[in-house]
């Protein structure tokens, strides 16, 4: 691994996060349940991680605000525009791999 100072590492990680978020905003065809079933995380998880990171820094960011950062719009609006009904098969797979829903 290259010798990278902490500030540069943080900047690279932030750039990678922004790229991931931009990619997920563009790929509205990829549903959260698909992300959960394949990778174990989804847009809502990223939002929760964002809130937790803010809390660690003493910054208050609400969950809905973090969702808007990740989704690029209020969650309800994204859901109305892009979320499809999950198939029983996908729901069953999620129930087995993530009994708590996340």
Quick check: 32 and 85 in contact, CB under 8 A?
no
- Tokens representing 37 are 């079933």
Instruction: Tell me what percent of the residues of the chain surpass a pLDDT of 90.
Output: 86
* Tokens 């829903």, located at residue: 101
Give me the domains of the chain, ranges plus CATH numbers: 6-97 (1.10.3340.10)
Please identify which residue in the block is written with the tokens 């847009």. Answer: 43
Q: Using one digit for the tens of pLDDT, what is the confidence trace for 49-99? A: 999 999 999 999 999 999 999 999 999 999 999 999 999 999 999 898 877
> What average pLDDT does this structure show over 10-27?
97
For the whole prediction, is pTM greater than 0.85? Answer: yes
Half-sphere exposure of 46 (CA within 13 A, CB side): 22
């Amino acid at each position: 691994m290259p010798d990278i100072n902490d500030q540069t590492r943080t900047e690279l990680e932030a750039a990678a996060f922004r790229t991931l978020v931009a990619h997920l905003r563009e790929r509205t065809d990829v549903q959260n349940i698909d992300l959960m079933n394949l990778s174990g995380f989804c847009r809502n998880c990223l939002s929760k991680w964002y809130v937790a990171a803010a809390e660690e820094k003493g910054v208050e960011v609400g969950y809905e605000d973090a969702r808007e950062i990740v989704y690029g719009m209020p969650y309800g609006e994204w859901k109305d525009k892009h979320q499809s009904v999950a198939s029983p098969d996908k729901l069953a797979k999620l129930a087995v791999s993530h009994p708590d829903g996340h």
